[in-house]
């Protein structure tokens, strides 16, 4: 099956700085890549997603880039705020029925 690796496992940034989380995937057939934010004690929540026919997608302070040739995709958060502190997960899917998740990045935004 698909293997998704995520780095770094922990990330601390000063408020207002940017944060970047990177994921790689193993199966070139993967074509849907969602990102989730999980706050303590809650279930993950989708924050942005990208499909393989798109190289970049933005939503306000959040952006995702996809490099199909290198099989990696990244989450970019600009102008970070304390409420961005959470665990972030990347995922990949081939069919849209089975999702393979990365191991998560714990982001801390220091006020």
Partner 1 sequence: NAGVTQTPKFQVLKTGQSMTLQCAQDMNHEYMSWYRQDPGMGLRLIHYSVGAGITDQGEVPNGYNVSRSTTEDFPLRLLSAAPSQTSVYFCASRRGGGLRHGEQYFGPGTRLTVT
Pick from 84, 83, 79, 73: nearest CA to 35: 73
Closer by beta carbon to partner 1, 4 or else 77: 4
CB of 17 to partner 1, least distance (A): 25
For 66-103, give the DSSP string: EETTTTEEEEEE-S--GGG-EEEEEEEESSSSSEEE--
CB of 77 to partner 1, least distance (A): 19
Closer by beta carbon to partner 1, 28 or else 103: 103
- Which segment (13-21, 40-48, 61-69, 72-80) binds partner 1 by CB under 8 A? 40-48
User: 51, 54, 67, 81: which one contacts partner 1 (CB under 8 A)?
Assistant: 51
Q: What angle do CA 86, 57, 53 make, to 5 degrees?
A: 125
| Residue 71 vs residues 15, 31, 67, 88, 109: alpha-carbon distances, Å | 30, 10, 6, 19, 28
CB of 96 to partner 1, least distance (A): 4
The residues of the shown chain that bind partner 1, judged by CB under 8 A, are 1, 4, 6, 9, 31-32, 34, 36, 41-46, 49, 51, 89, 91, 93, 95-104
């Amino acid at each position: 099956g698909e293997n998704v690796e995520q780095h770094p496992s922990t990330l601390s940034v000063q408020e207002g700085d940017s944060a970047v989380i990177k994921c790689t995937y193993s199966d070139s057939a993967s074509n849907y890549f969602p990102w989730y934010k999980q706050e303590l004690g809650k279930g993950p929540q989708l924050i942005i997603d990208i499909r393989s026919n798109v190289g970049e997608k933005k939503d306000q302070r959040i952006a995702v880039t996809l490099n199909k040739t290198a099989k990696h995709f990244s989450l970019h958060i600009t102008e970070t705020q304390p409420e961005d502190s959470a665990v972030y997960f990347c995922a990949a899917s081939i069919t849209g029925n089975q999702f393979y998740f990365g191991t998560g990045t714990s982001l801390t935004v220091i006020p």
